[in-house]
Amino acid sequence: MFDTIHEECGVFGIFENRTANVAASVYFGLYALQHRGQESCGITVCDDGIFRHKRADGLVSEVFTREELDKLGSGNIAVGHVRYSTTGGHNHNNIQPLVIRHIKGNMALVHNGNLVNAAELRRSFEMSGAIFHGTSDTEAIAYSIVRERLTSSSTEQAVERAMPFIMGAYSCILMTATKLVAFRDPNGFRPLCIGITHDGAYVLASESCALETVGAEFIRDVEAGEIVVIDKDGLRSITTNCGEKKHICIFEYIYFARPDSVIEGISVHHARQRAGELLAKHSPVEADIVIGVPDSGLDAALGYANASGIPYGIGFIKNKYIGRSFIQPQQDQRENAVKIKLNAVRESVQGKRVIMIDDSIVRGTTSARIVRLLREAGAKEVHVRISSPPFLHSCYFGTDIDSEENLIAGRCHSTEEIARYIGADSLGYLPVDCLGELVDNRFGCCKGCFTGDYPVDVSGAGCKNKFDEKIHR
């Protein structure tokens, strides 16, 4: 249950210069981003200034039936969101888009990321009489913008003024009655990109793979710190808050993003293959076959096989009808969860020395069960290779990487001890120094969960513990 890493959210928005079935476009966009959040989803449509929205727990295909999409109707602007929350954050009021009605109009906000000063902002607003309905930091962003909007000439100016007070990770899309406003934090922790369809509709999405589902051509990424405004006059940019350096989360390339996405000019598929090649260089071992744990381990396994000369094979079959966030609440059911999600291919691994490539080890329990599957399928040896460094520290920027005491590597376990715990013959991680090579050293990346060196001050973020029901995201 707690031994997997989850993304926290995907965002999508579209602006048409005509009335169209924008709800359907957002539906397809969110479907492509489902891997980024599988707990809840929502869509808000604007039709001549009137907002209609639907938000609920569940997958996109479960929440948005044909009947529900028809209820949203047509319009010219729409935004959508898929969400995963950490323990304690399951609250219907946290489901996005967050729709706000204020004295200067309506707005709908979707957010991917996590603020490190959310508690401070919330306390400040509450002391001024604000009433919060949920527990997510997205409300703090909304209140910050509304406060500035009262004295600003436009929504984009309000966003520009609010951004210096919002600390942490945020890739947001804001919809008003007449425009879309996209903005990304000055470090660019989480991705956000822009596309355009053949008929001139602008599209915003967390990943480029979502653009292709609605027939949009990729234009560019939203720059770190940039505000992009899309209205009837087209697209314009505000760069007041742009920083000098990017610190995009390196785990977007290792695990979060779909392999067919391109982020900041780097193919995710290429980055994962490169991770496998580097693993082969730094953690070689004699073996008969290289296999990957679906899905994010597959590309790295292919890279390892190519670099090592050891044949690549299919070692696991994944149940396609169970998502990443599949959770069973009972302990005995959790013990069987891996077998429900994965089956080892006995014909591939029986009697062989196997190199198993995975993206990460959190607490070690899932890794131990996967190694056990290979043993039960007849693998003679199992050598585990991880396409990231060991997790030693929490993440505060939109990933639910836990507190240090709940991370197996963070509890001062050596690589050899972890290998014994998961039942592997050997274990190797990708060295931290290699992370820059995944993106061809083109820009800076956040590696805080591996090094404890964060691009922004996290002292006000508080303790992070996925086992504590009082923690809210």
Q: How many CB atoms lie within 10 A of CB 405?
A: 10
Contact (CB, 8 A) for 282 and 307: no
DSSP 60-87: HHHH--HHHHHHH--EEEEEEEEE---T
Catalytic residue among 9, 193, 249, 446: 9
Side-chain-side CA neighbours of 281 within 13 Å: the count stands at: 10
Cis before residue 295, ω within 30 degrees of 0? yes
Backbone φ and ψ of 109, nearest 5° = -125, 135
Task: Map residue 245 onto helix, strand or coil.
Answer: coil
d(C-alpha 135, C-alpha 119), whole Å? 10
CA dihedral (360, 361, 363, 364) positive or negative: positive
Angle between helices 138-149 and 155-162 (to 10 degrees): 120
Q: Which two tokens stand for residue 121?
A: 């902002």
Residue 420 CB coordination number (10 Å): 13
> Active-site residue 193, yes or no?
no
Are the CB atoms for 107 and 180 separated by under 8 Å? Answer: no
Cis ω on the peptide bond leading into residue 97 (within 30° of 0)? Answer: yes
Assess contact for 137 and 114: CB atoms under 8 A.
Answer: yes
Helix (H) / strand (E) containing 123: helix 118-127
Closest C-alpha among 62, 59, 81 to residue 12: 81
Burial 158-185 (b: 16+ CB within 10 A, else e): bbbbbbeebbbbbbbbbbbeebbbbbbb
- Pick from 210, 239, 234, 209: nearest CA to 222: 239
* Residues forming the active site: 9
